């Protein structure tokens, strides 16, 4: 490669790496794997080494990738939080050992190393004055980070006061454990929230919340791995410092192995690699640090990295095995996921016998067939994946896989809607979906059963006190009281809330049933139109399709939902329990707003937005969240914002609350 080609490739790599660094460090939304990023960074380092005249101070090889997020106060680190040089082979580790020994005045006669796991999380410095916690800051760009003091206070493993009145700054990694991450994503899925891509993203995003109340709901933990500054430092060994930090009450990285030689360090790294499945937290490598602190001082550092430490990144290991079968699992939202059943094979220290195939499109894209020989890979992440089929080894006896037409758990029909990758179970009484269905049914938007939240429902299901929605109305006081110590008052309040929900309007019931594409607004329109559940059940697809606010997709969803045996069974059980099935809203023949669309903006003095919208809809009108040329009126209250400006620019008539009151007299 000549200088011109190298320059073009370096510019391309820098641009790509800057983009992915922003996604990773600033947005906590990586689009590529750590391994792919590392390989590009490694290529850039090698090119800059080969063509030193092309090295630039703004290259990511010369700086740390993070920036301070808007909304946070900047903190200048008293001691920079540097990054580590990465290596990918044991030969490079031996080269590191050679360099260290050559730089030391006594050739490293007392040289020892400490090997630690490289936690996959977000780096943070925590400061104490006279033994009391005073501040916490993220790494940021290494020199300037974000003040996350209030968020750090919510992490239970960070002590607020130490047993000794020391002035101290420690550095560690904030992370979320493997089990806690799985549970967090499961809960988010059930509540209809966006899932985190991985535990590192979840930890970083949680720590960098502008509202510490949100951070407090996340299962964050922190391992300390270094003393940045300590007054009256009486130590000359990093390993001894770590033991001292444990005595002070810190949650220190549990994997810290003192090694006498680089060969011992390499053996320690191999052992960590073999055991990483059992660690309980994600790692993206192992760190080798010089133990002697005087040696560290002598070795010094570059602008970006210390010369006394290095990070070994585990390469992705690939193995070939047999795809024995593909079975389907039903998740708690009804999503049906194909799972590969494999001939057990050891990959990266753990035996793999099954792994997810994500969805139907993944199976088609990889051209997977039952009986194929496949390549399995396990990179820095603990989740194995099918990389490719060894098509040269096909015998002709392989079988094509098809997604099931009926749910493997409850037998209800499955559906995959246009534009979606997921195949779903349609059964509302499917036991696999019980938690999600009951959580939604009891939610504020649904039947609004106060006290019946996620954790209580989870306990009820675990104890087999409920298995489906209708079981809520069969709960007895003793059942609920058993969930909490001295729980009689809580139980009585919950039973009262359940009984009150029986009197809800039909619209609340329709929302709680969780019909796909039908939210609270559409449920209100359906309740007003059909007046009771039986009228809605008996409505034809054609009739549903011509209703205002009900499009073709929604109409089909409603029609098919009420053709399911499980739906009818649930409705009958709810009727038997005394749940109201009728609209309680007075029927109105007043259609003065028929054909009109209103947009509400700002704060009204006499009405909430919901109340004003209800009035408009009772009188035959529609409400919308956005202004367009089709908007009839914009009802503007105090502090009206961009919607008012857009209405004026489009020539849409703007009315005040007083004018609105005149219109509804």
Give the C-alpha separation, 92 to 261, whole Å. 15
Q: What's the angle, vertex CA 124, arms to CA 123 and CA 125, rounded to 5?
A: 140
- Say how far residue 413 (Cα) sits from the centre of its chain: 29
**527 burial via Cβ count (<10 Å: 0-12, 13-18, 19+):** buried
**Which run of H or of E encompasses 49?**
helix 34-50
Q: Are strands 309-312 and 86-87 parallel, antiparallel or unpaired?
A: parallel
Report the distance separating Cα 292 and Cα 75, nearest Å: 29
Instruction: Give the 3-state secondary structure of residue 44.
Output: helix
Catalytic residues: 118
Burial of 15 (0-12, 13-18, 19+ CB in 10 A): exposed
Q: Which residues contact 339 (CB under 8 A, 6 or more apart)?
A: 326, 327, 328, 329, 354, 355, 356, 357
Q: Alpha carbon of 248 to those of 158, 532, 541: distances in Å?
A: 11, 66, 69
Name the 3-class secondary structure at 84. coil
CA 270/CA 313 separation, integer angstroms: 11
Structure tokens at 286: 């192992």
Taking each helix axis as running N to C, give the angle between helix 454-462 and helix 434-442, from 0 to 180 degrees, rounded to the nearest 10. Answer: 140
Instruction: Judge residue 264's burial from the number of C-beta atoms within 10 Å of its C-beta, 0-12 exposed, 13-18 middle, 19 or more buried.
Output: middle
């Amino acid at each position: 490669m000549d200088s011109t080609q190298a320059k073009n490739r370096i510019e391309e790599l820098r641009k790509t790496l800057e983009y992915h660094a922003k996604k990773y460090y600033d947005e906590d939304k990586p689009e590529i794997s750590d391994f792919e990023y590392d390989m590009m960074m490694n290529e850039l380092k090698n090119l800059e080494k080969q063509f030193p005249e092309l090295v630039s101070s703004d290259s990511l090889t010369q700086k740390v990738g993070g920036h301070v997020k808007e909304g946070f106060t900047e903190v200048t680190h008293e001691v920079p939080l540097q990054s580590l040089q990465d290596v990918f082979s044991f030969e490079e580790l031996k080269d590191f050992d050679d360099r260290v020994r050559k730089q030391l005045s006594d050739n490293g006669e007392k040289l020892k190393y400490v090997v630690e796991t490289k936690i996959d999380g977000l780096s943070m410095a925590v400061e104490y004055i006279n033994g009391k916690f005073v501040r916490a800051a993220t790494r940021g760009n290494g020199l300037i980070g974000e003040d996350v003091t209030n968020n750090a206070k919510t992490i239970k493993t960070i002590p607020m006061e130490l047993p000794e009145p020391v002035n101290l700054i420690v550095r560690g990694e904030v992370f979320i454990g493997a089990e806690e991450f799985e549970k967090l994503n499961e809960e988010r899925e059930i509540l209809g929230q966006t899932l985190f891509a991985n535990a590192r993203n979840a930890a970083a995003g949680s720590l960098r919340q502008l509202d510490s109340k949100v951070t407090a709901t996340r299962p964050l933990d922190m391992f300390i791995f270094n003393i940045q500054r300590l007054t009256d430092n009486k130590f000359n060994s990093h390993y001894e410092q770590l033991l001292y930090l444990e005595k002070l009450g810190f949650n220190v990285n549990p994997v810290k192995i003192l090694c006498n030689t680089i060969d011992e360090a390499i053996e320690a790294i191999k052992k960590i690699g073999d055991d990483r499945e059992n660690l309980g937290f994600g790692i993206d490598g192992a760190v080798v640090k010089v133990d002697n602190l005087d040696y560290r001082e002598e070795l010094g550092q570059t602008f970006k990295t210390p010369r006394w430490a290095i990070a070994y990144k585990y390469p992705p290991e690939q193995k070939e095995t047999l795809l024995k079968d593909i079975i389907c699992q039903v998740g708690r939202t009804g999503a049906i996921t194909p799972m590969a059943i494999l001939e057990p094979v050891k990959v990266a220290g753990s035996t793999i016998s099954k792994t997810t195939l994500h969805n139907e499109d993944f199976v088609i894209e990889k051209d997977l067939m039952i009986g194929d020989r496949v390549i399995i890979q396990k990179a820095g992440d603990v989740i194995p994946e099918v990389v490719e089929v060894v098509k040269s080894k096909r015998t002709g006896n392989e079988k094509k896989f098809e997604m099931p037409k009926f749910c493997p758990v409850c037998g209800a029909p499955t559906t995959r809607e246009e534009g979606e990758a997921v195949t779903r179970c349609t059964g509302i009484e499917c036991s696999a979906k019980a938690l999600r269905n009951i959580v939604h049914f009891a939610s504020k938007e649904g039947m609004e059963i106060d006290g019946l939240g996620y954790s209580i429902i989870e306990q009820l299901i675990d104890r087999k006190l409920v298995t489906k929605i209708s079981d809520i109305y069969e709960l007895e006081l003793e059942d609920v009281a058993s969930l909490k110590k001295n729980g009689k008052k809580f139980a009585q309040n919950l039973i009262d809330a359940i009984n009150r929900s029986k009197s809800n309007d039909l619209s609340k019931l329709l929302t709680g049933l969780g019909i796909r594409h039908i939210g609270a607004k559409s449920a209100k329109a359906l309740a007003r139109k059909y007046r009771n559940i039986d009228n809605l059940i008996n409505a034809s697809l054609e009739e549903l399709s011509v209703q205002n606010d009900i499009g073709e997709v929604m109409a089909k969803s409603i029609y098919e939902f009420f053709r399911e045996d499980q739906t009818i069974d649930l409705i009958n059980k709810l009727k038997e329990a005394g749940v109201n099935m009728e609209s309680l809203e007075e029927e109105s023949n007043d259609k003065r707003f028929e054909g009109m669309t209103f947009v509400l903006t700002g704060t009204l003095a006499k009405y909430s937005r919901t109340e004003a919208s209800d009035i408009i809809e009772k009188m035959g009108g529609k409400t919308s969240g956005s202004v367009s040329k089709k908007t009839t009126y914009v009802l503007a209250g105090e502090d009206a914002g961009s919607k008012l400006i857009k209405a004026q620019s489009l020539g849409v008539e703007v009315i005040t609350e007083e004018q609105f009151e005149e219109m509804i007299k």
